[in-house]
């Protein structure tokens, strides 16, 4: 019987951005080197949910809140349907993590391990002890950019000169079909003996979306993102929900075509985040990449019909073009109060709609969770 090797202890760490700027700090989590798109979130809580959100696949996440890890990490417990209770998926989805201060002695009744232990066990590198305010200001001014994060073994030094050269050749993960990398491979049926059935097109769905449907007594068929219209209709759904997910929505070619066909079939559709962009593309609209995206739990959105403002949880780097909606059967429903970007759309004279934020929150305010009820009213 072999002896199980102990994980290597992290030493120095360095983050190098494509503009040749760099940040030297201390490593935690796994020893190793990864690359990805460096983004930031201004959320104050919810690191277990954020790190397991599939929408962050391919990204190196910066958390701007100064102290992270203070309430530890809970266990991967599932509910009666096997859906994670305190996470948004099974396993960390970010490529790497950047924070200012790491708490190594957390205190919370549900904590089962430290953030450092969690990242190490899943092979995810992290860096702390850097000026995350300076990094965030750089990303706001120049836009999100590609980078390399290296965590060295204890006692080793990073080769900064080599990393500065290497980062110039890092491939943009958004050129890949990221949603295809995180979608499920086979359909999963969640049977709660409900009075309605919804097919959830999984482009990287958060667990909280599934939980919100189940608690409303809706049976859920979670389908791969490339399921055809015919395969979806075989389940005889009352409605279809297109989930959140990572990357460029234009890479979801088959999903866009399926959504277009489902609308023509008269199926009611709700889109969340990436799902909103997919609905827009399916109906003839267009999308574009934001300079640094919206990633936080305090994004204000305005309802153009009522004038009401809601505080929302968001995590996206792409948006729907307002101008592109002209001439389509779509109308803008919500806009972002800060930058006036499109935050919600609806199909004219139809029952389908989509929002750019996360009404399921997790983490964040639950002010707009009623949109699930609105969707279920529309499906009849």
User: Among this protein's residues, is 316 annotated catalytic?
Assistant: no
CA nearest neighbour of 75 among 44, 43, 109, 28? 109
CB 82 within 8 A of CB 110: no
Tokens at residue 66, please?
A: 């100064």
| 3-state SS class at 69 | coil
Angle 54-49-136 from CA coordinates, rounded to 5°: 85
CA–CA dist 344, 24 (Å, integer): 40
Q: What are phi and psi of 182, to 5 degrees?
A: -110, -10
> At a CB cut-off of 8 Å and minimum separation 6, what does 4 contact?
none
User: Among this protein's residues, is 265 annotated catalytic?
Assistant: no
CA distances from 91 to 52, 53, 337 (A): 6, 9, 34
CA nearest neighbour of 32 among 160, 166, 157, 123? 123
CB 202 within 8 A of CB 224: yes
- Kindly name the residue from 57, 273, 294, 343 that is annotated as catalytic: 273
User: In sequence order, what DSSP letters do the residues of 10-68 get, joined into one string?
Assistant: EEEEEEEETTS-EEEEEEEE--EEEEEEEEEE--SS-HHHHHT-GGGTTEEEEE-SSEE
> At a CB cut-off of 8 Å and minimum separation 6, what does 339 contact?
none
Q: Are strands 101-102 and 67-68 parallel, antiparallel or unpaired?
A: parallel
| Other CB atoms within 10 A of residue 109 CB | 7
> At a CB cut-off of 8 Å and minimum separation 6, what does 138 contact?
17, 19, 21
- Which strand (E) or helix (H) includes residue 188? strand 188-190
CA–CA dist 355, 187 (Å, integer): 24
User: Among this protein's residues, is 294 annotated catalytic?
Assistant: no
CA–CA dist 316, 314 (Å, integer): 6
CA–CA dist 295, 302 (Å, integer): 17
Q: Are strands 96-98 and 59-63 parallel, antiparallel or unpaired?
A: parallel
Write out the catalytic residue numbers.
273, 358, 360
């Amino acid at each position: 019987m072999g002896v199980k090797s102990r994980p290597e202890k992290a030493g120095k760490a360095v983050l190098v951005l494509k503009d040749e700027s760099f940040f030297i700090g201390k490593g935690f989590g796994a020893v190793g080197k990864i690359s990805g798109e460096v983004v930031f979130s201004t959320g104050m809580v919810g690191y277990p949910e954020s790190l397991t959100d599939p929408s962050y696949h391919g990204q190196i996440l910066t958390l701007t809140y100064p102290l992270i890890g203070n309430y530890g990490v809970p266990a991967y417990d599932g509910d009666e349907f096997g859906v994670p209770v305190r996470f948004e998926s099974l396993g960390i989805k970010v490529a790497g993590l950047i924070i200012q201060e790491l708490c190594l002695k957390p205190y919370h009744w549900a904590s089962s391990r430290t953030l450092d232990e969690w990242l190490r066990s899943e092979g995810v590198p992290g860096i702390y002890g850097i000026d995350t305010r300076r990094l965030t200001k750089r990303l706001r001014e120049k836009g999100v950019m590609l980078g390399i994060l290296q965590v060295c073994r204890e006692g080793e030094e990073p080769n900064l000169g080599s990393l500065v050269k290497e980062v110039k050749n890092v491939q943009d993960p958004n050129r890949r079909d990221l949603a295809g990398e995180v979608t499920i491979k086979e359909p999963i049926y969640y049977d709660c003996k409900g009075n309605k059935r919804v097919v959830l097109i999984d482009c990287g769905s958060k667990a909280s979306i599934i939980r919100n449907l189940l608690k409303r007594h809706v049976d859920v068929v979670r389908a791969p993102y490339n399921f055809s219209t015919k395969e979806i209709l075989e389940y005889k759904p009352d409605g279809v929900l297109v989930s959140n997910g990572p990357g460029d929505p234009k890479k979801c070619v088959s999903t866009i075509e399926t959504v277009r066909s489902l609308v023509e079939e008269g199926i009611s559709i709700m889109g969340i985040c990436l799902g909103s962009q997919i609905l827009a593309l399916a109906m003839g609209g267009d999308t574009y990449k934001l300079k640094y995206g919206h990633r936080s739990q305090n994004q204000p959105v305005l309802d153009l019909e009522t004038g009401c403002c809601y505080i929302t949880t968001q995590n996206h780097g792409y948006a729907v073009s307002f101008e592109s909606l002209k001439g389509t059967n779509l109308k803008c429903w919500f806009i972002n109060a800060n930058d006036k970007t499109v935050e919600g759309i609806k199909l004219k004279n139809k029952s389908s709609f989509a929002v750019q934020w996360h009404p399921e929150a997790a983490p964040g305010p639950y002010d707009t969770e009623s949109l699930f009820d609105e969707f279920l009213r529309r499906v009849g």
